[in-house]
Structure 1
Amino acid sequence: MSSPSRFDVLISEVGPRDGLQSISTTMSTAHKCAWIDGLVASGVQEIEVGSFVSPKLLPQMADAAQIVTHAIQHSGVTVMALVPNIKGAEAAMRAGVHKITLPVSASPAHSMANVRKTHQQMVEEVRAIAQLRDDLAPQVHIEAGISTAFGCTLQGLVPEDDVIALSVACVAAGANESGLSDTTGMANPAQVKRLFTRLRSELGDHAGAAHMHNTRGLGLANCLAAYEAGVRTFDASQAGLGGCPYAPGASGNVVTEDLVFMFEAMGIRTGIDIERLLAARNALAAGLPGEALYGMLPPAGLPKGFVPHPYSTH
């Protein structure tokens, strides 16, 4: 697992899962491995490398176990995978992941569309997976990511009390932490700060990551609001790839390159070398020729005179 001494905020790279499952092109296993190698070389400390779901549903993730086998060879990196159910959780644990994340939707409509389960059924799934973890791989860390926490394209507004109650229930069921996801890109900074303040008040150290989307251009502002509320772990996707197949119109994640630059420019250490991160973007582009890549920093470059924090290797 990663050491907290090299950074003030943890950037969790979700592109190899969230990004790749959201596009029609399937990146080859070799290109995925090369991309992950580039991310690790830049200093990224946590990578969501895939999801353990039926290859019939997501053929882009069919090689998840192979990718985990490759990724866990890197020391000092937390290798994470998304699992929608206990079958996927067992496969992920047997593959050797350090951390699993479960999508638990605060919107009943999205929950049924995404995992075909109600809130209570998903909480019970968390409980069953936590028991399996205790029996099979007690070192594995479980995160319950509360999706559609800031609004849902299917049902509209999501009551904040419901979001907090669901997070608390997931931790009570055995999850190590519960974070909040702006799956649909509907969040605003005031809402983000308010909801994460409540979450941290309820869960303390069990409050997890901020997963923001840039659908309406507020991704970085929302991350900053979460930081001001005390959040120190942020999901991001290189080149802004990502979305949700069950949330129409919910375009890409916060761009990793832009988020790292924002924090480093503020004097907040990420432990990531920006130049090497941009080099990893080249590996991504090589594996997805013709795919649109996003971000403000890559075309603009670093400002003249910009001096990032010294980069330290693993």
Structure 2
Amino acid sequence: MAGGLAALLDDVATLTRAAAASIDDIGAAAAKASAKAAGVVVDDTAVTPQYVRGLAAEREIPIVLRIAKGSMRNKLLFILPAIMLLSQFAEVLLTPLLMLGGTYLCYEGAEKVWEKVSGHGHGHGGEDDEPKDENTIVSGAVRTDFILSAEIMVISLNEVTDEPFVARLLTLVVVAIAITVLVYGVVGLIVKMDDAGLRLAERGTGAAAGFGRGLVKAMPKLLTALTVIGTAAMLWVGGHILLVGADELGWTGPYHLVHEIEHAVEEATGALGGVLAWCANTLASAFVGLIVGAIVVVVVMLVQRVRGKGRAAAH
């Protein structure tokens, strides 16, 4: 009996260690997959606070929570089953699909650059827009989130395509939950930052009041910084996706050229070689993203112009 119990406990310990190792593997894979989607995550974080501008302070967090729930539904109920089916039965489509998402990232980044340069920006539920009810705000934000979430999940999937089905599924579930909590947790902090600062400024004294005023003043600058970082990250990630995808599909020249530049920088810069080589790769990828994105922006503008002329002629 004692021997049997000892064997049973030994088996339980072995299974526990195996389960812990599996959890560690899934966690590591999820972290790696999430890192590759950084550009989209930052953009998602930068876009969402704009939807709650102008709302009563007490409604901001409830609206953010509703958008977060919609984002979780997007990822777990719609996007995840679709991409798991693709990865299992039509894996050949994943690289073109990922490149399509990368092209969209490049377009979004280049469009933001164009809006900044030309001064013809457009908002996402900003203060100048017509008033909208909460259901309209949430549905619009969730629709935008669907596109960003799809990109996050496909980019993440590309990092774990060699894993078994169950490990791949669990990793993507962890990515979906972790990124949603991260993005909308940060969004919640951002949208309440000015309220917290205002409260401190009004009720605090000395350093506390000064810190509160600093928070209020920092809010617009923070949103601007997030937008700039998000734009740069989209161009970098989008360009890198296109370079890697083109290499996998047989057009190896651009990818190899970027790696030759990276290698040359690393050899020429000594102790800082690794960091500067990464910067060179990032800048080259961002340049590719900007070029591709600019081409798509021009095509979209031409199509919109032709459609506008068609409608005018019809009237």
Q: TM-score range by the shorter chain?
A: under 0.3
* Structure possessing the higher radius of gyration over alpha carbons: 2
| TM-score, length-scaled by structure 2 | 0.23
TM-score (norm 1): 0.23
Between structures 1 and 2, the one with greater strand share = 1
Larger RCO (CA under 8 A, 6+ residues apart): 2
